[in-house]
Every structure is written in structure tokens, then in C-alpha cells.
Amino acid sequence: AQNMWHPYTSLVKPTKTRLVESASGCKFYLADENSDRQIEVVDGMSNWWAAIHGHAVKELDNAAASQLGKMSHVMFGGLTHEPAVTLGNKLVDLTPDNLTRVFLSDSGSVSVEVAIKMAFQYWVARGIKGKTKLLTVRGGYHGDTFGAMAVCDPVNGMHATMFGGMLSNHIFAPKPGPKIGEPCPAEEATISELATLLHDNVDCVAAVIMEPIVQGAGGMYFYSADYLRQVRDLCDEHGVLLILDEIATGFGRTGELFGCHHAGISPDIMCLGKALTGGYMTMGATIATDEVAFGVSGGKSHDNPLPLMHGPTFMGNPLACSVANASIDLLLSTPWQSRVQSIQRQLRSELMDPCKDMPSVQDARVLGAIGVLEMKEPLGPEDQDFLVDECGVWLRPFGKILYTMPPFTISEEELRKITTAMRMLAEKKSS
């Protein structure tokens, strides 16, 4: 463990790591430093929001084992294979009707990089110069690679202090004002400012990029579906592409299969990751319309077709594709919507309602299988120790945000353990 450099920590004073010996259902089994026994904890994070079915899932295990008997990997340049073809068809069937072309990659962040590259090349291939900027909103998060970092919040984002001066400069509108469930009239201040920025910079903006409905690692903020509808309308009005980053929201997390379904809209480019493989394998996908895909390629009648110059070594990995196919089949064969609705009801009754007026809590909010307590003061390592050691749950707060995104398969009792732990910590901070 001494040689390992874990995410989001310094080697000078690294955050504590715990040894996981196994995982099953909605639980981790941690090694106890002081004995030979295991410590059982409920997983409230779904492996960073990805393990929607939980752990050691028979259907996903079998898919991986079966594919291992055939081939674990084959390069995707000049070759293809059945698991990738099947996955492409499934994704086209699942996502909005206009999305028809699937580009596979090896992570969510890379799917964003591909989307950005597509958006810029779309205009270059059409002979339109100067479209070198993206427009996005504050409070967003799109990944840890450089292109993605450049459209994360430039002031309060996790990369702002260290890398702000090194990243590409894009255009930022205010964080969406209206919250989920609220209307967003055209004269509302935040959508009005976005409209003005888009109008004033239309000659240089290639695309608008946003997380639909839920701003994830930027603060777990849920904004109005009406706001998102208006963004789609503004993009259409100004002839600008719309990229929706569904890496965190895709595959049912918000109560809809995709976040854009809340607003009844379709993007020109969609990014997927995380739950794509049920949390088993690393994989991303960027899905585009025919208009974008053929535009990037120089047009259907172009004499000199243009390639999209991107090709990760593990693009279209057969193991990941097979597991993704099994995960999608499993999701669609289960009552996932009613499960997410049940989680939402329980989170509201056991977390949001009792905590929203606590002195330590700035805001309490719930959407689908996401429960959030926004605290008034930042949380520290000692708070995570309390959650694990005293309460028996695995949660990973960041900044002032204490939240849970449990697997959809979580039991009422297991979820109650999470809500009780979060409530206990909020009470502790209030005293």
C-alpha cells in the first residue's frame, strides 16, 4: 500500500485507505486492522455511482467469464466483434431516437474528450473557422482529463486553483437558478444570461456542454428541467451543438433512464460511462446524431473523407462490452423504476425531511436514487471515519456535501442504515 498513490489525495499527508477483502450485494467486507475478523459496511456510493446492481452480480460475473473463454481483448482498429456490435445497437435503441452513431472509449472522461473533439471537428470539416470555444455553466464537472477539466467550474471546481491558468479558456454562464420542479421563464436571470452569452459569442461557440438535471461532483445540485429545455431551444435557435454529459445520470439514477428525459429533449452528442458496465469495467461511449457524425467525417458526398483521430488502445474491449450488454439487459428486465422510486421515497422521509431544518444543514435534497445533505461547514476525514467505524456505512463526503448514491438493489434495511448514519452525523455537527 505504501507504493500506491490513491485518487484525490497528497502523498505528504494521504487520506486513510481501507482494505476491501470482498464485496457482495450492497456490502463491502473490510479487513480489521486489529483482528482477523471482517468489518461489514453498507455501500452507499455504488463505486462512485456506477454499481447500480450492487456487487458480485451473477449475470455480470457470467458474462465476463463467458467472454474470457473467447477473447479478453482485440484491437478495434480494422477489427470488430459481436459484443461491441450488440452494445452499439442497444445504446442506439435506448438513447433518444436521433442518436445513431456510437464511439466507444475507455472511461467517462475520455468520452467527454471525444465529444469535444467531435464538436470542434464538425465545424472545421464544414469549412467554418473560429468555432473554438465551448459554452457551459458554473457548478459543472466533466472529468479529470484536460479537455474535460477546462469545462469544469473555473472558480470553485477541484481543478481551478492548480490548473486554471493552463486550461483552454471557455465561456461560462451562471449556475442554473431554478431548481428541479421549478419553472424557468425566459426572463429568469440565469437562463437569460446564458442566452445573451450564446448570442454574443455565436461565431466562436462550437457547442454547449452540460450535465443534464444533476450537477454531480460540482456540488450535487438538481436544476430545472424547464431550464434544460430552454438550453436546447437556444442551441437550435443559434445553430450550436448541444453535448449532454450523462456519465453520472445515465441508466436510471435520477428516476428516468437518462437525465435528458426529464426535459423531453435530445442532445446532438451524449456522453456515457460509470453505470454503462454496471460498475464492473472501465468504459465510456460518445453517441452522436447522423448530422454530427457525417459532418465530422466531411459530409456524405465529400471526396476526401475526414477521420476522427481518436483510438484508445482498449476501445471496444470485448470484456467490457459483454459486461455492459449483460448490465443493460439486467436493468431492463428488472423493475428499476419502481426500485428507484422506492429509494427516493425513503430518502425523502428518512433523510431530507428530518434533516432539512437542522442547524448544521444548509440544504437537503433528493432526486431518484440520490440523497444529499449540503452542510454549512466542510466535512473532514474524521467524519468519514465516524460513518465507517461507528455507523457501518461507506460514504465519501466531499467539501460540504454529504451524499449517497446507493445501488438500486439496496434493501429498505440497508438504506435505513445509510440514512441513519447521515442523520447522526448531521445531528453531531448540529450539537
Selected catalytic residue, list 106, 131, 141, 417: 141
Q: Is 158 exposed, middle or buried (0-12, 13-18, 19+ CB in 10 A)?
A: middle
400 in catalytic set: no
Buried b (16+ CB within 10 A) or exposed e, 345-372: ebbbebbbebbeebebbebbbbbbbbbb
Q: Are 117 and 293 in contact (CB under 8 A)?
A: no
Annotation marks residue 403 as catalytic: no
Plot region of 368 (φ>0 → left; ψ -120 to 50 → alpha; else → beta): left
Cβ atoms of 273 and 111 within 8 Å: the answer is yes
Catalytic residue among 131, 274, 417, 429: 274
Q: List CB contacts of 1: < 8 A, sequence separation 6 or more.
A: 17, 19
Residue 225 neighbours by CB under 8 Å, 6+ apart: 180, 213, 262, 263, 264
Q: How far is CA 72 from CA 63, 69, 81, in A?
A: 12, 8, 11
Is 221 a catalytic site residue?
no
- The amino acid present at 166, given as its one-letter code, is M
Whether residue 144 lies in the annotated active site: no
- Find the catalytic residue in 8, 13, 36, 300: 8
Q: Which of 43, 153, 226, 245 is catalytic?
A: 245
- The residues assigned a catalytic role are 8, 141, 245, 274
